[in-house]
Amino acid sequence: MAQTPEPEHKQPLDVAHYAESSARENLIEHVFLGELLRGLWRRNVRDLEVLRPEVDSSGYDLARIDPAHAA
Q: Is residue 27 part of a domain?
A: no
Which domain covers residue 64, as residue numbers? 47-71
C-alpha 48/C-alpha 53 separation (Å) is: 16
pLDDT for the residue 9: 67
Structural domains counted in the chain:
1
The reply to whether 59 falls in a domain is yes
40 located within any domain: no
Residues whose CB is less than 8 angstroms from the CB of residue 46 and which lie 6 or more positions away in sequence, other chains included: 40
- Quick one: pLDDT at residue 43? 92
| Residue 60 is assigned to a structural domain of this protein | yes
Beta strands in 25-71 (DSSP E): 50-51, 63-64
Report how far residue 55's alpha carbon sits from residue 71's, in angstroms, rounded to the nearest whole number: 25
Q: What is the pTM of this model?
A: 0.59
Write out pLDDT tens, residues 12-67.
777 877 788 888 888 998 999 899 889 989 999 888 778 777 777 767 777 777 77
In a domain, 57, yes or no: yes
